[in-house]
Structure 1
């Protein structure tokens, strides 16, 4: 089959139009944003666990290391967790509600049915409800949660629970893990995920503010399907 000069010109013209349009999209979004948008997957779901707070408390602000009215701060290594809530297209999600709870530095939750024999830290807030800002950004101060026995020989690695909600999006309940934790490799929940999902659920150590390690944890919400 012979290819005529006219057909080659038509093919070239079509290819030029296609690549021109693609270039326009990349230029409009920015090459990094375009690649990022293509790569985003919803943050994986995880079980809420048995220790969601059952007793309301007055102080649920973004500093879990200090309870209003207490002179002493929470025990353990204080850390900062910051990130951005986005949708699967890479757009920031403003005013998303982030319900956050975790164990204290000894691996003990503020929950009446926690069987951990460790004494709870009465100066640790343990629970926060905050909102992302107009750019989808959030930030809170807490302690590095301790590991704790789950069942048998299973020791749960340090992790923080999140429940994120915003009208128009599917409610996400998940858990954030920390990098370079040996117990991550034997955790039954984390290892039930794919490698890509594990990466999405693991924060990254990005900086230090004085003696405070700063971890970045970005959250991707999926649209509510109707």
Structure 2
């Protein structure tokens, strides 16, 4: 069905509003009842006449019927309310976390210890070198629902910017007591937490990399590879080519300070 008001050039129809997700359905159901009532009140009119200032026309099966200004305004109002409601629903949706680069140093040689504490390796006598930090958050879908049972792989450089990877030929020293990698799974509330060392910046073929941690997240229906950055490294972040490349999405990859040596970062998947 299509409504057309010739006098003003206004047309209302079932529309596609992809940016709003559910907007088409909301709009159609909101308009359905007013339009049905309007159709029941139609008066037959033979031939296409000049549109009067107070009314418009509806078309179905090549038959034209008068629409009063009041009836048309009612349908337009219903459409407006539906679109407004859909827009508000879209505004409440969370922004998905930005995609990141896997990087050249995904671990190929792993330790037997892959737990959530990267600062201690089982059987070692001492802790890793560097500033110990705690990073925690949740894995959510874009509606804010927690994603239980999501698998996270986490890896990073050590306190002097060196990866335990054969392709990292930097002159910075390795730390034999730093685990550098872990595998964890989210709980009922989508929660996750790791204890690690604050990674250092380092030079790379694409320029100096700001401190960051790599994440490979596997939810129920989506996989996300991304990199997490630190909010208290603003100057270093601004000079990092990959961080700058995120543009308006950079804030979705930024962990915020949540106390002394604690950071908070929620990971948002499109569909969980």
TM-score bracket relative to the smaller structure: 0.7 to 0.9
Structure 2 residue 151 is the aligned partner of structure 1 residue 97: yes
Q: For 1:122 and 1:145, locate their aligned partners in 2 and report how far apart those are by CA, in whole Å.
A: 15
Structure possessing the higher radius of gyration over alpha carbons: 2
Verify the 8 A CA contact 2:137 2:264 in the aligned structure 1.
yes
Deviations 1:8-63 (A, max 9, x none): 9x849x66xx59xx6xx9xxxxx9xx68742x122111111010100132111010
Shift of 1:180: 3.0
The aligned residue for residue 202 of structure 1 is: 254
Equivalent of 1:70 in 121, 124, 127: 124
Unaligned runs of 5+ in 1: 26-30
The aligned residue for residue 240 of structure 2 is: 187
Shift of 1:2: 6.2
Verify the 8 A CA contact 2:232 2:257 in the aligned structure 1.
no
Shift of 1:205: 0.3
**TM-score in terms of structure 1 length:** 0.80
Deviations 1:161-204 (A, max 9, x none): 000002322x1100000113121111111111122x11001110
The aligned residue for residue 159 of structure 1 is: 212
**TM-score in terms of structure 2 length:** 0.68
The number of equivalent residue pairs is 206
With 178-187 and 63-72 compared, the bigger mean Cα shift is at: 178-187
Equivalent of 1:137 in 177, 191, 196: 191
CA pair 36-81 structure 1, distance change in 2 beyond 3 A: farther
The aligned residue for residue 28 of structure 1 is: none
Greater relative contact order (Cα 8 A, min sep 6): structure 1 or 2? 1
Unaligned runs of 5+ in 2: 1-52, 56-68
CA pair 11-185 structure 1, distance change in 2 beyond 3 A: same
Deviations 1:73-130 (A, max 9, x none): 0111100000010111211100100000000001011111111111101111100000
